[in-house]
């Protein structure tokens, strides 16, 4: 019995320290990032994952004409500012948050429907920690009812 309790204690300890165990970014997306979308309506889709500094991710989505969109890219405090770009099918960079004071949001509308790519990058930190920092990153979309 004592041995079982010891094993359970170790498992709980590892789970509480290691962010990869039971990677849960739902709470972060729902309670923190989703608030950035207000007054837009969140579309309900879930795009979040644990990323490590230096890591990149891409998201592909079709955006439709006549709709007002808000894009929010959020990261856990441990990760610092998440860099993101919006790129069109011709590889043109339409938006780069590094050129806009590292904002987390972009509001836009389209004259015609387009497929766009959102690239995100967790910058490499300057900390002296032996291990690179990890944390949740969420990409969320909101729109307005017409």
By CB under 8 A, the residues from 100 to 139 that bind another protein are: 106-115, 117, 124, 130, 132, 139
Secondary structure class of 41 (helix, strand, coil): strand
Question: Using the rule CB under 8 A, is 64 a contact of another protein?
Answer: yes
18 binding another protein? (CB under 8 A): no
Does the footprint of another protein cover residue 55 (CB under 8 A)?
Answer: yes
For residue 122, is the peptide bond before it cis, meaning its omega torsion is within 30 degrees of 0? Answer: no
φ and ψ of 86, to 5 deg: -115, 125
Binder to another protein among 8, 15, 94, 98 (CB under 8 A)?
94
User: Taken in order 106, 107, 110, 113, is the CA torsion positive or negative?
Assistant: positive
CB of 118 to another protein, least distance (A): 8
Residue 84 found at the interface with another protein (CB under 8 A): no
What residues pair up with 116 in beta bridges, in sequence order? 61
State in Å, rounded, how far the first CA of the chain is from the last one: 62
Binding site for another protein (CB under 8 A): 22-26, 29-30, 34, 41-49, 51, 54-68, 88-92, 94-95, 106-115, 117, 124, 130, 132, 139, 141, 143, 145-146
């Amino acid at each position: 019995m004592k041995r079982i309790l010891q094993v359970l204690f170790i498992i709980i300890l590892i789970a509480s320290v290691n962010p990869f165990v039971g990677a849960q970014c739902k709470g972060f997306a729902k309670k923190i990032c989703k608030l950035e979308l207000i007054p837009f309506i969140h579309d309900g889709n879930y795009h979040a994952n644990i990323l490590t500094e230096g890591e990149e991710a891409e998201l592909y989505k079709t955006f439709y004409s006549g709709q007002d969109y808000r894009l929010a890219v959020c990261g856990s405090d441990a990760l610092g500012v998440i860099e993101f770009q919006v790129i069109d099918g011709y590889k043109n960079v339409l938006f780069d948050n590094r050129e806009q004071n590292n904002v987390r949001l972009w509001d836009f509308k389209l004259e015609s429907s387009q497929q766009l790519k959102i690239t995100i990058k967790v910058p490499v930190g300057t900390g002296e920690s032996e291990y690179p920092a990890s944390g949740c990153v969420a990409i969320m979309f909101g729109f307005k009812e017409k």
